Amino acid sequence: MKKVFFVISFLFAGSLVAQTTSEPKKEWDMKQYYMVFLIKGPNRSQDSATAATIQKGHMDNMERLHNEKKLMVAGPFLDDQNMRGIFIFDVATEKEVIDLLNTDPAIIAGRLIYEIHPWMTAKGTCFE
């Protein structure tokens, strides 16, 4: 009986120590972004020179949006499917996302279309 009491006392004391030394629950400061999936558009029949010009404009536009600190992530998918790439925007509204997307030569030409999804992550886990 004395051994059982000792074991129970030891376990109880250990659980108290674990409770007092555990870190406090972290509160997450969440922030909304907009994730955009770029998809093959209906107009992909341009000749190679025109397609190259559109692609250059697409890349230049992404660089501009990044420099304006509106485009946080951009990149292609590598599996050559209908879904071509993603953008993640740090802007206030979906309307602003649409306005920015409509400055992209690949979207204007119909080579790409898009889906917009509001997305949230904790500040500091992916972006500042």
pLDDT in tens, 1-48: 455 444 444 444 444 444 545 666 677 889 999 999 999 999 999 999
Cβ pair 90, 70 in contact under 8 A: yes
Residue 12, in any domain of the structure: no
What is the separation of C-alpha 77 from the centre of its chain, rounded to a whole number of angstroms? 14
- Whether residue 43 is contained in a domain is answered as yes
14-43 burial: b if 16+ Cβ within 10 Å, else e: eeeeeeeeeeeeeeeeebebbbbbbeebee
128 occurs within a structural domain = no
- Sequence-distant (6+) residues with CB within 8 A of 118 are 32, 33, 34, 35, 94
Query: Rounded to two decimals, what is the model's pTM?
Result: 0.76
What CATH number should be reported for the domain holding residue 105?
Answer: 3.30.70.1060
Number of domains the chain is built from: 1
Token digits of residue 104: 């992209």
CB of 81 closer than 8 Å to CB of 38? no
Expressed as residue numbers, the domain containing 109 is 30-122
Segments of the chain assigned E as strands: 30-40, 71-76, 83-89, 112-122
Does 10 map to a domain? no
**pLDDT, tens only, 86-101:** 999 999 999 999 999 9
- Domain assignment present for 55: yes
Query: 35 lies in a domain?
Result: yes
Contact 35, 88 (CB under 8 A): yes
pLDDT in tens, 65-77: 999 999 999 999 9
Inside any domain, residue 101: yes
